Structure 1
């Protein structure tokens, strides 16, 4: 729970840095609401995690309190018993009386038994003293641990209160922005439709390139015909599912894979063939796995570039690049730079469009990339 809380706080900080980096630019209302919605969602998840952590610590405090109560009773009983032993020993405190007790035996066997009794009695008294010492030390450790847990719980309660105040402020701002959106709804819907057309156009372009490559491989089906080397690379790629590195050194997913409600107007549906990752200006897109450059495509209208890498029968796509550093047919290594991601000069946003395909079937990148 603690590691999840720390990860969520880092995610919120990433969103904050990203917002700070773009706030001086002319940002559209839709982008502003989307970014704020993502921040609120992440903060709500953080509050939920903090609540779970508080509940967990509360259970530990209750358990420790019960242990301390039981231990205190046991310690008190030991002390009472030990005091009686000491008093009894005091009454028979001289070595002469112990020696006389042994020598007054009727026979050797009785004397030996009395000697053993005195020896065991002394050992028992010592063990009782050791038990008292051990339980007292254990009690001190539990009390210290309890005090630390109470401090941790209070810190978490303070953190939860702060996050709740922040989310309240952000929701007020979100509501204000949504009211503005309602006044410009038709313009926003037109923007969404335009972006969806661009998304479909990019997807069709990628599908065409992949199907062309499948046909070229000599297979009449929708799957690649693989050489032994390509089969080995494909198997290696598949075995790294969920462990692939991010296609950027630092980034934040702003749009996820598949159909999803629009963050501003839930009645609208947006569909993404991959993920969109916001990052810093001049960031390089990098290969998530060893492979070969299958194709480099260029949008004739704006000059934006896309790089397709092939890994056996898997394809990874790196779209929205303003320049590339590789050529078709090049062999590339994991984390090798492929090109510079385009920055929109109006919004100030630097977005990488990243996709994963198996043959001509789209995959969810979040299932492949580590902690995406």
Structure 2
């Protein structure tokens, strides 16, 4: 029984595993997307190189480009593995087709030899006229026609099989050529990766002499980030409390509406009694103390008599959200991994979570979202429709916009100016402000995603 269950589980899991494997076209699209991301990063890096002194912006751009270059190489390896699997499959198919072709040729040769031996028209006529009756002669004639058609089909099968073999061999050679091109490109990317790694190490060495300035900058950033974190947590707490009260009010209203409909259906009366009498629906008086109820067999009990009116069915409802907020939240969640970027062009220059500082390696820094470097003067835009919960200013984090998406919230920080206001409904990709420049003159914004007061990695939500 366990073996059968295991086999069924494997059969059900195979389609899911197959769907998880990216196709060749998916890998090609991903490669083009990574190359576009590298191109954008290189543009930002060239802008930072105008300053001859090494900056943190340069270092972040270089590290981002290194990560994207490594992703590109890994993607190429996946493409090469995919091609290798196709080559292996095509080679096996060619071998099978060649084996089938040999069998078809052998059978056709046997048919030709048999036809040669019986080629005389006299033998054919003798075969027909030796029939016992007319019906048998007709059957023999049909047999001869079928045999002739069979030989034609054999020849056609041989021709089709030969064509399939030629097409497969052509496709196989094409795949081998693609593999050679990818291997050459991969080697080139590895050389570029090594050069970029050396350049990154040089920038790190230059920044090592500025550790005191960096430590002061890190401390100031941590202070601003904590202030922002407390402000966002408090705003979300208030928003959730407001949503809870709205949901409770909605539930109360629905319960009253349900009670009014029930009263209208019964005409203000309860269940009918024998003889056509009715009992008022609002009769809630208890039986006198000590009253008894008759049980089967004539025995009595002191238990109170149950009310004849049925209890109303409990209302199934989510107390934390109204139906509209629940629908918005579900729609936001269903778009995970497909949300547009909060800027039109840019790259992630600092990742989510706790990690070591790229220069002061003993210092751990924490990012509640992701830092996105973009071009100067770039506009920030909403990644999904929602309502602006709060527009507020914090020193060091500049202007901030918090947008409500039901259970989810998105935060857009480090804006030079804002074009939306509190409680405003906004659409996907609607401009909400302009990204501010940091001390190094780079346009960098901080983007965060929250769910029920918990921080989430935005990189998993936006399209990559």
Q: Normalising to structure 1: TM-score of the pair?
A: 0.86
Change (3 A) 1:180 1:282: closer
Change (3 A) 1:265 1:316: same
Structure 1: which 4+ aligned runs deviate by more than 6 Å? none
Aligned to 1:231: 322
Change (3 A) 1:179 1:249: closer
Q: Please report how far the alpha carbon of residue 169 of structure 1 lies from its aligned counterpart in structure 2 after TM superposition.
A: 0.7
Change (3 A) 1:302 1:184: closer
Q: Please report how far the alpha carbon of residue 284 of structure 1 lies from its aligned counterpart in structure 2 after TM superposition.
A: 1.6
Residue 434 of structure 2 corresponds to residue 371 of structure 1: no
Aligned to 2:61: 35
Aligned to 1:98: 124
**Greater displacement, 53-62 / 146-155:** 53-62
Change (3 A) 1:42 1:266: farther
Deviation track 1:11-70 (CA, whole Å, cap 9, x = no partner) reads 222222222343325675332222212211221122122112212211221222222123
Deviation track 1:327-354 (CA, whole Å, cap 9, x = no partner) reads 233332222211111123x523111212
Whole-Å Cα distance in 2 between the matches of residues 106 and 74 of structure 1?
40
Q: Please report how far the alpha carbon of residue 168 of structure 1 lies from its aligned counterpart in structure 2 after TM superposition.
A: 1.1
Residue 386 of structure 2 corresponds to residue 294 of structure 1: no
Whole-Å Cα distance in 2 between the matches of residues 333 and 62 of structure 1?
50
Deviation track 1:195-232 (CA, whole Å, cap 9, x = no partner) reads 222222322333344445567x3xxxxx8533559623
User: Structure 2 matches for 1:1-372, cutoff 5 A?
Assistant: 1-25=27-51, 28-93=54-119, 95-105=121-131, 108=134, 111-112=137-138, 114-211=140-237, 217=242, 225-227=245-247, 228=250, 231-239=322-330, 240-241=332-333, 242=336, 243-299=338-394, 304-344=398-438, 347-367=440-460, 369-371=461-463
Q: Please report how far the alpha carbon of residue 322 of structure 1 lies from its aligned counterpart in structure 2 after TM superposition.
A: 1.1
Change (3 A) 1:6 1:14: same
Aligned to 2:263: none
**Greater displacement, 53-62 / 26-35:** 26-35
Q: Normalising to structure 2: TM-score of the pair?
A: 0.70
Contiguous gaps of at least 5 residues in structure 1? 218-222
Q: How many residues are aligned here?
A: 363
CA RMSD of aligned residues (A): 2.9
Whole-Å Cα distance in 1 between the matches of residues 227 and 397 of structure 2?
14
Are the equivalent residues in 1 in contact too, given 2:211–2:360 (CA < 8 A)?
A: no
Structure label with greater radius of gyration: 2
Equivalent position SS for 1:225:
helix
Contiguous gaps of at least 5 residues in structure 2? 1-26, 251-319
